[in-house]
Structure 1
Amino acid sequence: MAVIVIVVVVLVAVGGSDDSTTPAPSAAATSKASPGQAQEEPASERADLISFRLDDRSQAGLTDVWVVWTVRNSSGERSDYSWEWEAVDAGGTRVANGSELETDVQPGQTARGEDFTTLKGVKGVKLNITRFNRTASY
């Protein structure tokens, strides 16, 4: 008789999770403070997602659209990041969605990543973050 053991691992987010939908940050929106000006501490773990944008690499009639991100760990411990996103067209219709994961980001470290999408173009498309979590890496 075979015994099947199922193990379910539940990650508990450090400080909880944020389920509200917000526009994705862009590199322009997260510029550094000017010299001599104090830079504020991030208000929440979501502030660790420095940029999240679409990158249209299409050429020669072939569609090739990617999501590109930068995460900076502002916590004092090694962290994993997971988030869900949606792409919404100008009419408010969701045209794509997905999940991303960035693991083992050391305190103060910046990590960059990218993933392909099924989008047919980026004109008039807006990215929203629908869920964001930072958890301690073990």
Structure 2
Amino acid sequence: MIVIVVVVLVVAQGDGDEGTTSAPSKTVTDTTPREKTQDPRGERADLVGFRLDDRSAAGITNVWVVWTIKNSSSEKSDYSWDWEAVDAGGTRLADGSQLEINVQPGQTARGEYPTTLKSAKGIKLNITSFNRTASY
């Protein structure tokens, strides 16, 4: 487990992009292939959905992050990204790093992970770094 965390941290820092980008506001339907030349976000465009999911109606107390990755490259890829959840005043309430590996060209991968948040109301989700690398 420690090796995975170290790998995620090293890979996440590899692209040198320290800008903060808001997460997509909604999940994009995966029916139309996108050309990378048409999207100024580059590899970040592969993160087609990233949102908070409040599961309190199901009796689960924590809020989860849920994502969809669509590999638009021509090679099998690994993805790593860092995120933060902030309130309306800009205070960071939660943050984390996510990893999705071995995504084939054109393939869609979905994942989810619990957070320590108890509510998603009024919370903004930001992507603080994003990296795609070739899988081996």
Unaligned ranges ≥5, structure 2 = 1-5
d(CA) in 2 for partners of 1:59, 1:91: 27
Q: What SS is found at the alignment partner of 1:46?
A: helix
The answer as to 2:77 corresponding to 1:79 is: yes
User: How well do the aligned residues superpose, as a CA RMSD in angstroms?
Assistant: 2.9
For residues 67-98 of structure 1, what are the alpha-carbon distances to aligned partners after superposition, in whole Å with 9 as ceiling and x for unaligned? 00000001110000000000000111000000
Q: TM-score, normalised by structure 1?
A: 0.78
The answer as to 2:49 corresponding to 1:65 is: no
Taking only the aligned residue pairs, the percentage that are identical comes to 66
For the structure 1 residues 63 and 13, does the alpha-carbon distance in structure 2 shift closer, same or farther, using more than 3 Å as the test?
closer
Q: TM-score, normalised by structure 2?
A: 0.79
CA drift of 1:63 comes to: 1.7
Between Structure 1 and Structure 2, the one with more helix by share is 2
Q: Which residue in the other structure is 2:3 paired with?
A: none
CA drift of 1:60 comes to: 7.8
- Cα contact 1:56–1:122 (8 A) shared by 2: yes
For the structure 1 residues 49 and 107, does the alpha-carbon distance in structure 2 shift closer, same or farther, using more than 3 Å as the test?
same
CA drift of 1:13 comes to: 9.0
The answer as to 2:58 corresponding to 1:56 is: no
For residues 49-70 of structure 1, what are the alpha-carbon distances to aligned partners after superposition, in whole Å with 9 as ceiling and x for unaligned? 0010000001487522100000
- Cα contact 2:75–2:134 (8 A) shared by 1: yes
Q: What SS is found at the alignment partner of 1:98?
A: strand
Unaligned ranges ≥5, structure 1 = 1-7
Q: Which residue in the other structure is 2:134 paired with?
A: 136
d(CA) in 2 for partners of 1:60, 1:76: 39
Which of 101, 113, 116 lines up with 2:111 in the alignment? 113
CA radius of gyration, larger in: 1
d(CA) in 2 for partners of 1:32, 1:111: 11
Q: Which residue in the other structure is 2:89 paired with?
A: 91
Q: Which residue in the other structure is 2:102 paired with?
A: 104
